Structure 1
């Protein structure tokens, strides 16, 4: 089962979800705000794509961090502020991907 993590009011999540639905792909959507992720799930994201790809440095949440926090992103800080995570995070049997990429998503159908 494919899992998509993000927040429901995110435009990229909406586009990615619509694309998957239009292609007839079954997936489960997990909203970070309604169902907070656990440390093991977050670690699997990091293991899959690395901190650099996982953290959304253009987000308001990231911009509101102080300089020390920006230099030292931790599991605890990210769990406390899940909107630091670039969206969507897609977990498939092939692994973890971040962001909406039509080419990658088309390989799923």
Structure 2
């Protein structure tokens, strides 16, 4: 089964997720979305499974640095998708794709639940 971890390599939470996967012997593909980018189809797939408010990190520096009018434009899935495609660093990290499911964030408990199903 394919496991893909999306994020940026210097993110502390992504580092923790990558370490957990390696320590638990789980093969995965890492997709650096700052370097490799994101396609609209992938973002739409995520939005088909998760609320846009889960995917957009409104606590991060990228969001906080946006002009107020840009933030106000993100009021639905379409606005969120446009922002995520324009500025992938606004996406809450990491995003894990496994068994046709999408998960956001990392915790030891969450990953244990995901990989013991």
- TM-score by length of structure 2 reads 0.87
Partner of residue 97, structure 1? 103
For 1:94 and 1:32, locate their aligned partners in 2 and report how far apart those are by CA, in whole Å: 19
Give the equivalent residue in structure 2 for 1:32: 33
Q: Map 1:14-53 onto structure 2 (within 5 A).
A: 14-53=15-54
Quickly say closer, same or farther: Cα 1:40–1:94, change in 2 above 3 A.
closer
* Count of aligned residue pairs for this structure pair: 109
Structure 2 unaligned blocks of 5 or more: none
Show structure 1 runs of 5+ residues with no match: none
Q: 2: CA distance between counterparts of 1:70 and 1:95?
A: 28
Task: Report which stretch shifted further, 6-15 or 97-106.
Answer: 97-106
State the alpha-carbon separation in 1 of the partners of residues 107 and 72 from structure 2: 28
5 Å-filtered alignment, 1:65-84, equals: 65-73=66-74, 74=79, 75-84=81-90
CA positional deviation for 1:101: 2.2
Q: So what's the TM-score if we normalise by structure 1? A: 0.93
